[in-house]
Chain A
Amino acid sequence: MPRILADVNYLLMLINLVLFLIQFKKLNKAFRIFTFYLLVISVIQLITSYYSRNGMNNLFLSHFYFFFQFLLLSFFYYTILTVPLQRRFLLIGLVICPIVLGVQYYFDPSLFFGFNLFEIFITSFLIVIYAMFHFYNILNESKQYYYLNTGIFIYIFGSTVLFLTGNILSTLDKSYGRNIWALNGILYIIYQIYIFIEWRRLKNHL
């Protein structure tokens, strides 16, 4: 990813994080979980960036990224989804997914040092499904968490495809990989803008 794009990414991410943290006391449970998600993801991103700037292999951090993203966004959706069937589906996912991944790493620890395609696929896809659940729930209703949900939906699905190709990209010449990671950077900016819009709406209601 071009350096400037990466810097814009980090900046937007940190701005959003600070904005949510400032309002933290007034936020409801769902937004508090989301703030926590932003915090954890930011920390992982910053560590990733530190590794990459020092020329170290940072791919193993992707597992934390995907897993925590899955875990925290699942908690987030668990608080905002209202239909019992959807919540049960989410709970089953929340239990099954870590077990399956745990078993996978137990039998093949080497997966830890590259992108684990199954991990990317399952953790992202479940979140996309939850986002769809929420879209379904707010049909004909007030558009609660609408921007946040849209942002999550677009970013997670888009980035999943890019991350799936990650193992190949990491073996290509750096200049090719860079262009493709720029796509992810742009997608991430869009995501952060959606988060910001949600924050603006939220602030007006507080």
Chain B
Amino acid sequence: MQIIPNAEQFVEVIIYTFIAFVLMALALLLFFYFSRKKILKKELENKDMELQHQMELLEATLETQERERQRIARDLHDDISSKLNVISLNAHLLSSNDLPEKDFEEISSNIILVTKQVLENSRRIAHDLLPPILENFGLHAALEELCHANSSGELMKVSYINPREELAFGKIDSKNHLHIFRIVQELINNSIKHGKASLINIEVDTTESKCQIHYTDNGVGFDMKESKKKNGIGMKNIKSRAAFLRGKFEIKSILNQGVNAKLSF
């Protein structure tokens, strides 16, 4: 059955094809327009979330700073000012003329004793603020000392394993050593204070490009779901420090089964 196609049929086909293409082009244009809008919206949302996260970190940093100031103020007031008062009072007594020899000796020995205490306290405060060993001997030595200082016989054992010693942290900017130190310090404090742990293990595992610190304790641990809701100041502090390191901090815990944390950067 061979029919010669008539002009009408041709025109019809061309019109339909034309309409199909024009509508398709229109649909594509609309598609791109709305897609762009959707993608931009999503990007904006992500940026907002990032900003929010940064605000939270900043807040945590400021809060920590305020707390630290309070602590220093308290230390200065309790341990330094009050003792300096005692010294000042005693020094005034010394200056009176009719002081018996016996009293004179007692007062001066008292002054010496208290001065010693003030010196010791001011050194301790300075040490707490910035451990001199960190600056003088490096992070490995500081961590070693930190673990040693927190160990007390059989009651509390803090083990520190770092086969490459100071070399392990060689690649890391020395500015960041303090952050690492503080993170470990905070973890130990938490384990002792909240976890009631009696055994803490810290293991440093480094390669050329990566450094990992594994931290475990045998304390009471915590409920992950519960702690997510109320991220304590200590944990926020650790997270903001990890962010400064451009590293990753993960912590896992099961109630009554201790804590397992990993810092990698």
Contacts and interface: CB of A to CB of B under 8 A. Distances in A.
| Chain A binding surface, main DSSP class | helix
A168 interface: yes
Contacts of B24: 125, 128, 157
Interface stretch (A64-72, A88-96, A97-105, A129-137): A129-137
Interface string B16-45: 110111011001100100110011001000
A168 B17 contact: no
Contact of A171 (B2, B21, B23, B31): B2
B92 to A, nearest CB: 76
B20 A125 contact: yes
Given A132-B27, A135-B31, A167 B16 contact: no
Interface stretch (A18-26, A32-40, A158-166): A158-166
Interface residues of B, number: 24
Interface string A13-53: 00000000000000000000000000000000000000000
Interface string A79-120: 000000000000000000000000000000000000001101
Interface stretch (B3-11, B98-106, B195-203, B223-231): B3-11
Contacts of A172: 5
Nearest to A140: B42
A78 interface: no
Contacts of A157: 24
A117 B39 contact: no
A121 interface: yes
Contact of B20 (A129, A132, A160): A160
Contact of B27 (A57, A117, A129, A140): A129
Contacts of B128: none
B12 interface: yes
A136 B35 contact: yes
A165 B17 CA distance: 8
A139 interface: yes
B13 interface: yes
Interface of B: 1-5, 9-10, 12-13, 16-17, 19-21, 23-24, 27-28, 31, 34-35, 38-39, 42
20 contacts: A117-B13, A117-B16, A120-B16, A121-B16, A121-B19, A121-B20, A125-B20, A125-B23, A135-B31, A136-B35, A139-B42, A140-B39, A161-B20, A165-B13, A165-B17, A167-B5, A168-B5, A168-B13, A171-B4, A172-B5
Interface of A: 57, 117-118, 120-121, 125, 128-129, 132, 135-136, 139-140, 157, 160-161, 164-165, 167-168, 171-173
